Structure 1
Amino acid sequence: MCGIFGIVKAEKTPVAEQVLAGLKVLEYRGYDSWGVAVAVGEKIQVSKQIGKIGAAKVTDLPDSTVGLGHTRWATHGGVTQANAHPHLDCTGTVVVVHNGIITNYQSLKIELQTAGHQFKSETDSEVMAHLIEVELATGVLLPIAVRQAFLKLEGQNALVVFQADGQQLVAVRQGSPLVIGLGRDQQWLASDPAALVGQAERIIYLEDGELAVLSPQQVTISSVETGKKRPLRSEALNWTPQALDKGKFAHFMLKEIQEQPAILEQVAAVGGLALAPVAEAIRQADQVFLLGCGSAGFAAAIGAHWLRTLAQIPVQAVVASEFDTVMPLVTAKTVILALSQSGETMDVLVPVTAAKAKGARLVAITNVIGSSLARLADLTVPLLAGPEQAVATTKAFTSKLAHLALLAELMSGQLETGQIAVRTASQEMAAMLTPENLAQAEIFAQSLKTAEHLYVIGRGTSGLLSAEVALKFKETAYLHAESLAAGELKHGTLALIEPGIPCLVLASETEVTASLSAAAEITARGGRVIWLGPTPEATTKIPGEVPFNFQPAGLLSGLPQLIAMQLTAYYLALIKKIDPDKPRNLAKSVTVG
């Protein structure tokens, strides 16, 4: 969730401004509050505020050789300035930023308060500052104090610390991600490599149970448990600054929507190479699970549907946070395909780690090759989508579907058919991005601006895709949207259909007949039927609105419909004066369980 960024360097510079720039890149991880700390002589100066960073400045903070910042997604304690990070100890000489949840913080806090420590926030994070203070009082150096304090914590946590009179950053990780950027006479720390683009050329991913000490000239990494140092293994950071810039677009969401056709072309060209060993692993398995959270979970459901119907493989999709309900079935002959844009989603990492402990093989389908999920996996399929900054996923979701379509066709002996389907979808998605269709999406969004509810129905693939369409309206435009299989409408939800309520009917050329009766049921109750699909004949049987003109696109017919609804949700957010990149209460990389 939260974003961490730190710098340590040999010469004094405006590090606070550099830290703030890094936090802006990481703000998708949380934007309830933010803060920056720098060393000033024998004390630490902190500036922190609630809300998004926006055009904020930290020019009031002096030059320094070390700086540390944090952007928060609130878990323990409300959204207040006192609860914003960084947090100080009682002496004001130790500062901590934290990502994760310290599950035993209450008992630790009581012990510290009994010993006389004064707390200024409601957070679990502040506990660590005082624990380190206690250890430092025994005369040990900061890395040892951090190690000994961290061993008292329970939960999944990443922490970065510095001391006012020292010229080093100390970082420790268990569960929540941290990556080190290597430089000459300066080093960086961040929650995500994206924040290091344009600065560090090589990076090191900190592993679970490791402690890193960064000074301007060197980095050391050791085991938290034993203190034993390990060799440094760095890798190139190949992303470009342009990939993290909005360019000509007003928002990242609009930019990422427009990038989807080109991404699908790339997947069609090279995606099959990474999928060949995955197909072989599935053939050797006794059982196969697909899992993910949110949009990734919806992609998993669609992928399982394709593997069952096209390749006749009995695959089960499971919501990652509920995977414990099927964990008793996992054996050494199980293959798990885990979908995660960031590769850091805790609700995914926890069950797949447990499954691997039982001998299961893990396939990571992720957008970040160096992520925790990718490093844990036996096989990795890169999404090839590039950095995704908007909290609401667009291009990573469609890339997942493209890869899963290729996998299903590959396993049915029809890889070329799958490649053609992905290319066709790419072309039809590009056709939806003409100025005329962008204008039409804005007009359609205007027609929804007073709606309080939206229903999205479909059959087969369209029925499963309806969940992602509904989610886009919920998370981007704060419109209550409910998805369901068209045949289920009459089994309860029809009671909610009133005159004028908009109902989207998703239907490919092969699915429209199955949705006609549901559309008729909506029309009979005065609902507003909106057809989405290459189905002009449907409107002659059940009248309804046809806001977009779609062409048949085969297996991936739903993707042109999806991009039209992504655009509509985006414009509806603008109409409602909502920031589509940073919806309230959400964060992109959910690293807490």
Structure 2
Amino acid sequence: MCGIIGRVGTDEAIDTLLTGLENLEYRGYDSAGVAVQNGSGIKIQKQSGKVAELKQAIDSDLLSGEVGIGHTRWSTHGPPTDENAHPHTDSTRDVAVVHNGIIENYATLKSSLQELGHEFESDTDTEVIPHLIQYYLDEGASAETAFRRAIDDLEGSYAVAAMVANEHVLYAARQGSPLVVGLDDDGFFLASDVPAFLEYTDDVVYLEDGDVVVVRPDGVEFTTLEGHAIDRQPETVAWDPEQAGKGEYDHFMLKEIHEQPTSLAQAIEGRIQGDEPGEVALESFPPGAFDGIERIQFVACGTSYHAALYGSIAMNQCGIQTSAHLANEYGVSAPPVDENTLVIAVTQSGETADTLNAMRRAEADGARLLTVTNVVGSTAARLADDVLLIRAGPEIGVAATKTFSSQAVMLLLLAQCIIDDLDGTCEDRRALYNDLSGLPDTFSSILEDGTAKALAEQYLGAESYFFIGRGLGFPVALEGALKFKEITYEHAEGFASGELKHGPLALVTPETPVFAIFTGDEDEKVLNNAEEAQTRGAPLVAVCPAGHRAVDIADAHLDIPAVDPDLAGLLANVQLQLLSYHAADALGRPIDKPRNLAKSVTVE
């Protein structure tokens, strides 16, 4: 989940590399570094800390050159120190490498190299790669052959970019970690994610597992590890470069919360049809597309799991047999799968390692795979039989916001298609479709409400924060708690409301505010559970429409418009996102870069 940037061009590389690292810092910010080929060898500058600190320390004269690589790190092997920062080099410093992923056999490789006299300076698994390249160079191999042989020795997941002294060439390979090539009029880019170079070009080539790419000033060569040429066609990314900037907002998270009306409009566009909306039409899924499916399993992690749970509950309520699974547990305790099983992977980036592994397991058992993702050309999109894009645009803040709402809405739309094909038992859905069509405007009305900020300040300093819901309110409670703990560093937990009395009620005190989510379904039971906590001293905050009975009972109220119960939880979630944001802001937390977390988790 580190960030990689590489540049081969006709102009100075350093400014482009630093811009790329700033754009990628959401992927890791423990340390950062750059290496540039300046005609007289490779020059490196790296250090622990954020990219801004590296940028201040950069000596542009020393790092002059037209070819370079950079890296921003999220630590896996070794703490975030200067020595463990990338790029890493061999003993002669004629080879420099940046790497994302985990080399599983690094200890064996390192031991063998040490026996041959190689000296290591870091605690990382990455450092074995430049030493392997050096070893093969010393045996007389060309730089390209040495790179290929080194890659062939690796076991695990990786995206690797390397440069060799006095060659204006970058060598790169991927296996299980994302890597993309950017095609520019003045040269070429390598990166772990498109936003790294989006302001320079939107023409990209996504590498696939097993690909090796050689980037020279005059062109890019795509081959297998064995050197056989392969065809990789460029695609145009439909993202506006301005979407990857903060604009007028103090934080990416706040910007992305406020982008939800737009992202939802993009998600819905063309997918709900009729003058009076009454039909869902998803590309690639005509009527009958799901005939023969007997069971549905969702796999996902983190926020995407909460969206998957939302979709699963919606389908179950209409008589379709579904289950939602944490992808990292799916490999341990997956339910039975066969050719009549549809496995739906929900992943913002399309590169989440645990989700990809769950997909591969399901594929091996014969399941049909469908990916719901935000990224065209991602590994999950290529691995699946079918893809449903959420069209949310780039999301830079580590804490997912607009992608959750877009994922949940897309799963509701997908549910309608599946329900029709499998003869589900939903009631008249015209009210749902009407409210879905108006959802962007409804979200906008919530974003104009300042109540969440006032409540965040009112309850600042509480011992714990509890979020409860029932039915479709339950995944929203989980997501509300996750957002709160992610960016405030305060203790927060989400519960099915009925579970309060099965243990969590023992934790309730006057210093544990309880946020109760009312969707319009089973509200009386949610209110009864909430009152149990209130009776024991807990402040009760009702997240519900004005005029709801809970407003008169609660100590405080977060207002949401009255909508179809299938959508009410998503409106509640916006208020909880704002609550988390304003609490974190009042506490002075680094909202876009919460400690120990990174945006895309590409290691297990």
Pairwise same-fold verdict (TM > 0.5) = yes
Q: Is 1:254 matched up with 2:265?
A: no
Structure 1 residue identity aligned to 2:596: N
The answer to whether residue 25 in structure 2 is matched with residue 27 in structure 1 is yes
1:295 corresponds, among 267, 291, 303, to 303
Q: Are residues 501 and 244 of structure 1, via their aligned partners in 2, closer, same or farther at CA, if it must alter by over 3 Å?
A: same
Aligned partners of 2:551 and 2:557 also within 8 Å: no
Aligned to 1:44: 42
What residue in structure 2 maps to residue 216 of structure 1?
Answer: 217
Structure 1 match to 2:239:
239
CA distance in 1, matches of 2:233, 2:291: 34
Q: Is the 8 A contact 1:421 1:554 kept in 2?
A: no
Structure 1: distance between partners of 2:430 and 2:132: 60
Distance 1:479 1:516 in 2: 25
Give the counterpart of 1:54 among 52, 57, 73.
Answer: 52
2:420 is the alignment partner of 1:407? no
Aligned mates of 2:174, 2:446 — CA distance in 1: 44
Task: Specify the SS of the correspondent of 1:588.
Answer: coil
1:139-188 alpha-carbon deviations (Å, 9 max, x no partner) = 11112111111111111111100011101000011100100112335111
Question: 2:317 aligns to what?
Answer: 309
Indicate the SS of the match to 1:428: helix
Structure 2 residue 398 is the aligned partner of structure 1 residue 391: yes
State the SS of the aligned residue for 1:316: strand
The CA distance in 2 between the partners of 1:543 and 1:591, in whole Å, is: 42
**Aligned 1:534-549 pairs, distance under 5 A:** 534=545, 536-539=547-550, 542-548=553-559
- TM-score normalised to the size of structure 1? 0.95
Corresponding residue SS for 2:493: strand
CA distance in 2, matches of 1:71, 1:575: 28
Contact 1:454/1:481 (<8 A) preserved: yes
Is residue 2:587 matched to residue 1:576? yes
Match of 1:8 in 2: 8
Q: Is the 8 A contact 2:33 2:46 kept in 1?
A: yes
Q: Distance in 2 between matches of 1:23 and 1:273?
A: 40
2:99 matched to 1:101? Answer: no
Which residue identity lines up with residue 379 of structure 1 in the other structure?
D
The CA distance in 1 between the partners of 2:13 and 2:76, in whole Å, is 28
Alignment-mate amino acid for residue 4 of structure 1: I
Give the deviation of 1:473 after TM superposition. 0.1
Alpha-carbon offset, residue 281 of structure 1: 4.2
* Cα distance change on mapping 1:77 and 1:280 into 2, 3 Å: farther
Matched, 1:431 2:429: no
CA drift of 1:547 comes to 4.0
Cα 1:167–1:540 change in 2 (3 A) is closer
What CA distance in whole angstroms lies between the structure 2 residues aligned with 1:51 and 1:278?
A: 51
Match of 2:198 in 1: 197
Counterparts in 2 of 1:166 and 1:276: CA distance versus 1, 3 Å: closer
Structure 1 CA distance for aligned equivalents of residues 320 and 284 of structure 2: 16
Q: Which residue of 1 is the match for residue 263 of structure 2?
A: 263
Q: Distance in 2 between matches of 1:186 and 1:135?
A: 29
In 1, Cα distance between the equivalents of 2:551 and 2:443? 26
CA contact (8 A) 1:69 1:97 kept: yes
C-alpha spacing 1:136/1:463, structure 2 compared with 1 (3 Å): same
Q: Distance in 1 between matches of 2:167 and 2:553?
A: 73
Alignment of 1:360-509 (within 5 A): 360-413=367-420, 417-434=431-448, 437-438=449-450, 440-509=451-520
Amino acid at match of 2:300: G
How far is 1:537 from its partner?
A: 4.1
Match of 1:567 in 2: 578
Aligned match of 1:146: 147
Instruction: Give 1:412 deviation, angstroms.
Output: 4.0
**Equivalent-residue separation in structure 2 for 1:185 and 1:276 (angstroms):** 37
Change in CA separation of 1:322 and 1:535 when aligned onto 2, cut-off 3 Å: farther
Distance 1:455 1:185 in 2: 54
Distance 2:499 2:286 in 1: 34
Contact between 1:172 and 1:209, CA under 8 Å: does it hold in 2?
yes
Return the letter of the residue paired with 2:591: P
Separation (CA, whole Å) in 2 of partners of 1:364 and 1:537: 38
Q: 2:180 matched to 1:166?
A: no
Distance 1:402 1:278 in 2: 19
CA contact (8 A) 2:337 2:365 kept: yes
How many residues of Structure 1 are paired with residues of Structure 2 in the alignment?
Answer: 586
Is the contact made by 2:251 and 2:591 (CA closer than 8 Å) also made in structure 1? yes
Q: How does 1:336-347 map to 2 (within 5 A)?
A: 336-347=343-354
What is the identity, as a one-letter code, of the residue corresponding to 2:216?
A: S
The TM-score with structure 2 as length reference comes to 0.93
- The corresponding residue for 1:76 is 77
The superposition leaves residues 73-113 of structure 1 with CA deviations (integer Å, 9 ceiling, x where unpaired) of: 00000010110000010001100000000011111111111
Task: Report which stretch shifted further, 418-427 or 176-185.
Answer: 418-427
Q: Secondary structure at the match of 2:472?
A: helix
Letter in structure 1 aligned against 2:185: R
Unaligned runs of 5+ in 1: none
Q: Displacement, 1:303? A: 0.4
Q: Summarize the Cα distance change of 1:412–1:349 in structure 2 as closer, same or farther, 3 Å threshold.
A: closer
Distance 2:368 2:418 in 1: 18
Distance 1:318 1:350, change over 3 A: same
Q: In structure 2, what is the equivalent of residue 187 of structure 1?
A: 188
CA contact (8 A) 1:428 1:553 kept: no
Instruction: Verify the 8 A CA contact 1:19 1:68 in the aligned structure 2.
Output: yes
State the identity as a percent: 40
Structure 2 CA distance for aligned equivalents of residues 362 and 544 of structure 1: 46
Shift of 1:279: 7.0
Is the Cα contact below 8 Å between 1:253 and 1:394 reproduced in 2? yes
Deviation of 1:212 after TM superposition, in Å, equals 0.6
Distance change in 2, residues 1:253/1:328 (3 Å): closer
1:105 is aligned with what amino acid? Y
Q: Secondary structure at the match of 1:449?
A: coil
Q: Which runs of 5+ in 2 are unaligned?
A: 272-279, 421-427
CA displacement at 1:14 relative to structure 2: 2.8
> Which one of the candidate residues 337, 360, 373 is aligned to 1:353?
360
Q: Check 1:182–1:425 CA distance in 2 against 1; reply closer, same or farther (3 A cut).
A: closer
Alpha-carbon separation, structure 1, partners of 2:121 and 2:441: 56
Aligned to 2:329: 322
- Contact conserved, 1:158 with 1:173, CA < 8 A, in 2? yes
Superimposed CA distance per residue, residues 528-555 of structure 1 (whole angstroms, 9 cap, x where no aligned partner): 1111112644347744221435434432
Deviation at 1:330, TM superposition (A): 1.7
**Pair 75,459 (structure 1): closer, same or farther in 2 beyond 3 Å:** same
Alignment deviations for residues 405-464 of structure 1 (CA, whole Å, 9 cap, x no partner): 122234445675543232343332211111xx23x2221111232113111111111122
Relative to structure 1, the CA distance from residue 230 to residue 275 in structure 2 (aligned partners, 3 Å threshold; closer, same or farther) is: closer
Aligned-pair CA distance for 1:572: 1.0
SS at match of 1:70: strand
1:333 matches 2:340: yes
**What corresponds to 1:17 in structure 2?**
15
